[in-house]
Amino acid sequence: MRDAGANPALHLHDLKHTGGTLAAQTGATLKELMTGLGHSTPRAALIYQHTTSERDKKIADALNLMIEGRLIVPPAADPDGPSGALIPA
């Protein structure tokens, strides 16, 4: 990484954590994350996902809309489970 001019404190594995977190924020399913990160278990894939304050705010805002009845969660069409997409009511 140093040869590429990167910060010496940055490790290649840091990029994997960043990629896992960003992919999860797009709404990727756990199975998609497992495949993308090259993991065979959910536990391994979850290690590479981290919360962000931006995502926490989006979740809180969506929960408020659900409580107010202004947001519905559509039934999952994906056999791997819900994609996490929310639709305004």
- The domain segmentation of the chain, as residue ranges, is 1-50, 52-89
What pLDDT is stored for residue 31 in this prediction? 93
Among 29, 66, 61, smallest CA distance to 45 is for 29
What pLDDT is stored for residue 74 in this prediction? 67
Name the stretches of the chain with pLDDT < 50: none
What pLDDT is stored for residue 35 in this prediction? 93
Q: What is the pTM of this model?
A: 0.55
Q: CA-to-CA distance for 59 and 5, rounded, in angstroms?
A: 37
